[in-house]
Each structure stands twice: as structure tokens, then as C-alpha cells.
Amino acid sequence: QLYRDARECLTLLSQRLGSQKFFFGDSPASLDAFVFSRLAPLLKAKLPNGKLQQHLKSLQNLCNYCTSILSLYFPWDGGEICPPTSPTGSGGEAEEDPHKRRNQLLSVLVGLVAMLGYAFLSGIVSIQRGSAGPASHQPIAMEEEEEEE
């Protein structure tokens, strides 16, 4: 029932958009931002069940709508997201990025360095040099602290 309602909603959006560039003429409105925020992830994400995604890709005007917004407002990421529909089906995994693993690893490393840098700069984590002096200068262990209370 949920998929049926979603398909119907996409079809109604497609009919309402028609051949216009945006829902209310030649310039985007808040409705365009809202609709795009729902359609773009549906088009770009890899989903376990692609029924709704395939239905959206079959609605060429909504596909073109997302592509034009991506190229207009996100030119660095505005590539073609909706290939022309073909009766044979999907292209898929064969065109996958050959450097995907490297890019994922670099992303994780950059994120880790950024988080550690933030932790050090904000004082959440600090490095203190320990001295090999008398035991009275060493911090009290948690168990000893609880016994003192």
C-alpha cells in the first residue's frame, strides 16, 4: 500500500510539473526545494528495493527537473542521473568507479583526522607528559577516589 501511494504521488507530481522547468513557472519556489529534497536522494541512492526508484526514472520530466536543479545549483555534482529509459533494463554495477575503495578509505582518514584535530583544539583531549617522580604526584585511581568519599 505504501509503495502504491508513493508511486501515485510521484505520478501526480509529474503531471503537475508537466513540461515546466519548475512547479510555479520559470523560477524555483519553496515547493521546488521541498520536492527536490525528496526526489534527488531517491534518484541517486542505491536502494535495496528499486521499485520506486525505477518508477521515478520512468517519469522523464521529474528526472529532467532534478538534473536541471543539480546542474543549476550544484554544478560540481550535476551529472546526468537519469539515463534515457530503455526497454532492456539496467546498466548497474559494471560501470562502478574503479577507485571506490581508495576514495572510501581517504574519506574515512580525512574524517578521522578532522575529528581528532577538533578534539585537540577544543580541549576535549589533551596530551600530558607523565613524570617518573614520587607516587604522590600521580593521579588518584577511580577506586581510591570512591573509597575516600
Residue 30 within a domain: yes
Kindly tell me the sign of the dihedral angle through the C-alpha atoms of 33, 11, 77, 73.
negative
Q: Is residue 119 part of a domain?
A: no
Domain membership of residue 136 (yes or no) is no
What tens-digit pLDDT sequence spans the chain (149 residues)? 888 999 999 999 999 988 888 888 888 888 989 999 999 898 888 888 888 889 999 999 999 999 888 888 887 764 555 555 444 444 444 445 677 888 888 888 888 888 888 888 888 877 777 766 555 555 555 554 455 55
- pLDDT at residue number 8: 93
In a domain, 110, yes or no: no
Tell me, yes or no, whether 118 lies in a domain: no
Question: What is the tally of structural domains in the chain?
Answer: 1
33 lies in which domain range? 1-74
Q: Does residue 103 form part of some domain?
A: no
- Domain contains 17: yes
Domain membership flag for residue 48:
yes
